[in-house]
Amino acid sequence: MAPTPEKFYRWRVQLDCGCVEEVLTYGKEKLPVEQQWHDLVHKVRLPAGQVLCFHDDSPPEPYRKIVEWGERKEVSFPADPVEPPDWMDAKAWALIRHEEPRTSAFWTVTLSCGHATEVMAPDLEWKPADGPQRASKMSLRRMKAAYEELWASDPDAQAESEREHTRRMLADGWPCPSPENLCRTCTWARWIVAYQRIGWLVPRQPEPKRPKPPSRTGLQRRLRQAEAEAEKLRKQLAQLGGEDASEAGS
């Protein structure tokens, strides 16, 4: 499926995180900053000139607004196992466990940063034109109270950015799908700030050297040499005797 290695060109690029990496382009004409690289996590293209670079100390993923709704797909899940996963106690698991197999719809969305992510629809029939569904007044009041209690009793339960998101969600009636989403790509995506050519991935064979077309003076010199040589041979033949000499002279 991939093009042959002969088609790839190597570049050294510097990213805005300071890292220097090597990238490959298809052919040597398109610059790395003009290229749209792939976000392999979401199988979409990044904004032109961005690549992913992974750092342990990357900033936390920010919330971004959805600016465009893209493709829809359905994903089927089997029933959840009865046993809770290691990280959850049995009581909580019983509350959220899906006893039956189920199918959910996912939409690929573009965020305000230009990156893509997937959003689960509230139900299979839902379309973006329907707008988000909102929680009932009663459940909203309950959620508000529960979060206020959580923040008061355990101030570290939510990071500041997460708490801000929760506040926006509560103020907006807990819309589903949420108009903003975490963008994991933002923590990894870096701009190319400088680039330098390295060369073809498969080094090209040097062009075979063609013999130079002969020059006029060169040809004249070779002709003089050939005539002198012919003259010498005629003289030698003449010295060998009459008949041979006349044949050679004719």
Question: Based on the number of CB atoms within 10 Å of its own CB, is 13 exposed (0-12), middle (13-18) or buried (19 or more)?
Answer: buried
Q: Is 53 a residue that touches Zn ion (CB under 5 A)? A: yes
119 part of the interface to Zn ion, by CB under 5 A: no
Task: State in angstroms the smallest separation of the CB of 114 from Zn ion.
Answer: 7
Our CB check for Zn ion shows the closer of 62 and 132 to be 62
Give the Cα separation of 125 and 151 in Å (integer): 36
Cα–Cα distance list, 222 to 225, 236, 248 (Å): 5, 21, 22
Asked whether position 17 contacts Zn ion by CB under 5 A, the answer is: yes
Residue 13 binds Zn ion (CB under 5 A): no
- The least CB distance from residue 105 to Zn ion, in Å, is 23
Among the listed ranges 99-107, 114-122, 124-132, 137-145, the one in contact with Zn ion (CB under 5 A) is 114-122
Q: CB of residue 166 vs Zn ion: minimum separation in angstroms? A: 20
- Pick out residues in 175-204 that bind Zn ion (CB under 5 A): 183, 185-186
d(CA 118, CA 61): 15
CB of 97 to Zn ion, least distance (A): 33
The answer to whether residue 117 forms part of the interface with Zn ion (CB under 5 A) is no
- CA 19, 20, 24: angle at the middle one, nearest 5? 125
- Give dist(CA 151, CA 131) in Å, integer: 30
**Least distance from C-beta 186 to Zn ion, angstroms?**
3
Task: Say whether residue 165 binds Zn ion (CB under 5 A).
Answer: no
Exposed, middle or buried: residue 32 (CB in 10 Å: 0-12, 13-18, 19+)?
buried
Sign of the torsion formed by the C-alpha atoms of 26, 30, 31 and 36: negative
Residue range at the interface with Zn ion (CB under 5 A); choices 29-37, 49-57, 72-80, 202-210: 49-57
H helices present in the chain, as ranges? 90-96, 137-153, 160-171, 184-188, 216-240, 242-249
Least distance to Zn ion, CB of residue 62, Å: 7
* Residues contributing to the site for Zn ion (CB under 5 A): 17, 19, 53, 113, 115, 183, 185-186
